[in-house]
């Protein structure tokens, strides 16, 4: 059985999945940090926290320069309604920032002062640099998120456009991304001996009836192609 035929035979199933709301929406993120980050999605209460990816373990960039010189690209299936993006970021010395963009079928969200809230970890010297760069355990992060929900999240106190020194333009980021941190982009931050949890104020994906209709239209077209292919096969058989 050739691949085209196999694909066409799957189309009615895809249509059924779309009708049932079962088609996974694809999302793509580009993220960088001075110096490190781990990327997750999870619910607002900290449950279902799921690791997507992280940047380099050391400040040496995997493609030259610094870890922050090139953003990583992450493709993932949209987790479903009400999920938030979590960026766990920490500094290794001197200035600090993170920047990123998140594209779902409903649009583009970027790092800026309004789309994110912040929480500085409460452990003693719990900056992951002190433990070889390993990410905090998911259970530890969930406990910190619970504490933040109870105490109250902070905001984004510092931002500068992609292109700002000392980082310059990071071509792998969207031009609209801001370099952000909870208090300052300058060398001395109150979180230098901690990690900072940044949580999106937007859910991924945002609810959009328009996208659902587009998916159904696509599934309908797929079913039509499948019917045409079946008729053509019947004639030549
Ligand atoms: Ca990198
Ligand atoms: Ca730094
Ligand atoms: Ca610093």
pLDDT one-digit tens code per residue, 183-196: 999 999 999 999 99
Average pLDDT over residues 89-115: 96
**pLDDT of residue 234 exceeding 70:** no
Percentage with pLDDT > 70 across the chain: 76
Mind listing the pLDDT tens digit for each residue in 9-25?
A: 444 333 333 333 455 68
CA of 27 relative to ligand 3 center, distance in Å: 31
**pLDDT of residue 99 exceeding 80:** yes
Cβ neighbours for 73, distance < 8 A, ≥ 6 positions apart: 28, 29, 30, 172
CA of 129 relative to ligand 3 center, distance in Å: 12
CA of 203 relative to ligand 1 center, distance in Å: 25
Average pLDDT over residues 125-153: 97
Instruction: Please tell me the pTM assigned to this model.
Output: 0.79
Which has the minimum average pLDDT: 61-75, 79-93, 195-209?
195-209
Mind listing the pLDDT tens digit for each residue in 49-72?
A: 999 999 999 999 998 899 999 999
* Long-range pairs for 133-138: beta carbons < 8 A, 24 or more residues apart: 133/36, 133/57, 133/58, 135/38, 135/51, 135/54, 135/88, 136/38, 136/88, 136/195, 138/40, 138/49, 138/51
Q: Which residues neighbour ligand 1 (ion) by CB within 5 Å?
A: 55, 67, 70
Question: Which pLDDT value is given to residue 230?
Answer: 56
């Amino acid at each position: 059985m050739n691949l085209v035929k196999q694909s066409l035979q799957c189309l009615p199933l895809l249509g059924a999945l779309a009708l049932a709301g079962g088609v996974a929406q694809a999302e793509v993120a580009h993220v960088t940090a001075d110096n490190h980050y781990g990327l997750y999605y999870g619910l607002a209460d900290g449950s279902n926290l799921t690791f997507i990816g992280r940047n380099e373990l050391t400040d040496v960039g995997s493609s030259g320069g610094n870890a922050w010189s090139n953003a990583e690209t992450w493709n993932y299936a949209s987790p479903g309604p009400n999920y938030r993006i979590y960026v766990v970021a920490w500094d290794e010395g001197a200035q600090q920032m993170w920047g990123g963009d998140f594209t779902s079928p409903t649009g583009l969200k970027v790092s800026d002062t309004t789309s994110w809230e912040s929480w500085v970890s409460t452990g003693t010297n719990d900056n992951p640099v002190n433990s070889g760069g390993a990410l905090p355990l998911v259970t530890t992060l969930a406990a910190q998120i619970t504490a933040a929900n109870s105490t109250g999240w902070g905001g984004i106190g510092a931002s500068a456009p992609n292109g700002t020194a000392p980082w310059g333009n990071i071509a792998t980021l969207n031009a609209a991304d801001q370099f952000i941190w909870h208090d300052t982009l300058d060398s001395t931050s109150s979180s230098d001996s901690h990690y900072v949890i940044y949580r999106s104020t937007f859910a991924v994906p945002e609810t959009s009836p328009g996208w659902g209709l587009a998916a159904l239209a696509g599934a309908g077209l797929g079913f039509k192609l499948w019917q045409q292919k079946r008729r053509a096969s019947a004639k030549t058989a």
